[in-house]
Amino acid sequence: MSESALFPTYARFPITLVKGKGSRLWDDQGKEYLDFMSGLAVTNLGHVPDAVKKALVSQLDELWHVSNLFSNPNQEKAARLLVDNSCADAVFFCNSGAEANEAAIKIARRYHQKVKGNNRYEIITFNQSFHGRTLATLTATGQEKVKEGFLPLPEGFRHVPLHDIAALEAAVNDNTAAIMLELVQAEGGVITVDAGFLREVRALCDRHGILLILDEVQTGMGRTGKMFAYEHYDVEPDVFTLAKGIGSGFPVGAMLAKAHVKPAFTPGAHATTFGGTPIAMAVVAATIETMLQEKAVERAAEASKYLLAQLQQNLNDLPNVVEVRGKGLLIGILLTDPAAELIAELHNRGLLVVPAGPNVIRLLPNLLVTREDIDTAVSLIAAVLTEQAAAKSVSS
């Protein structure tokens, strides 16, 4: 075969997937896989969910794209569904998580500069965070590896260690516009934010008139066993972002804000050609409606309890497992050694999982995952980890 015409930006797994349904995927050799990665927390209702497919196909017959210069009933409906099921009062639709975070950064600055009449612009984020790959969102990201070779970076971002309230207080100054964080740092290794810390962050924001932005791109819409991760805490954000789970695999992002922030985006302040097309919005509305009808969030919370219990029971005594952590169906297994070989072996045996940092296996089954599929996944993971531990003890 000739050399690929693509940029080699991805270190791809050596598998070509050609078909999916529910929790199952098939490769071009006909091999079946149990999917515990959901396309990186995207296909939350499983692959090709019937109700969403029906809405998509029916919209494909009607209208694809007319631009955001016309009113868009599908966009209104999707926004209403999001607002009715969250603490937000307004939604801006875009095409990805990074774009949603760009919109959040932009609205935070504009809120201060146009609504509050000050010149605040700085965004504080946390070490190990991940917020996207555009210039602003990679600058917001608290991981050096995504920034290499892209200097100079945009101004106006500061990073502090997670859970260090003193460092956060010290970083706040007259220019601070917003504090932005994920409630489970997913790409950063599946690290959950403590409730006490988030309360202190919210109080700090309130004391200084700073906006609290939550990046719910990975945690949003059921993934953590609540519709939004902030529901695990008695704290609400001023602004939050969504993407992955709201489109069942259709590219879409959303920036949501409370009423006091809404006036910051006036006509012309922000825009996108493709954000919120009739097609994308038919998919988002059908995804949310299906989630509600299927009680996907409650089912995810139940499945999470079972999955965590099974993992504890089967992995607890293994010397190569440090801990099982995470929230809902965003679970990390922290290992003593690099996870890459184990992940390759799990793929080989028909279970698709992904890493989260070098030593963590990340599990992201869809929200409707069954106990049988959990049993299969846990027994494969336990078998591979047990074999690795045994091989290590022989060789040492």
Binding site for ligand PLP (CB under 6 A): 96-98, 101, 130-132, 182, 186-187, 215, 217-218, 243
Closer CB to ligand PLP, residue 153 or residue 390?
Answer: 153
Active site residue 194: no
CB of 186 to ligand PLP, least distance (A): 5
Active site residue 215: yes
Determine which one of 36, 157, 240, 244 is catalytic.
Answer: 244
Determine which one of 35, 215, 238, 373 is catalytic.
Answer: 215
**CB closest to ligand PLP, residue no:** 97
Determine which one of 36, 92, 126, 130 is catalytic.
Answer: 130
Closer CB to ligand PLP, residue 41 or residue 315?
Answer: 41
Closer CB to ligand PLP, residue 69 or residue 145?
Answer: 145
Closer CB to ligand PLP, residue 91 or residue 98?
Answer: 98
Hey, which residues does 333 pair with through a beta bridge? 324, 361
CB of 97 to ligand PLP, least distance (A): 2
Closer CB to ligand PLP, residue 101 or residue 320?
Answer: 101
Active site residue 244: yes
CB of 101 to ligand PLP, least distance (A): 6
Catalytic residues: 130, 215, 244
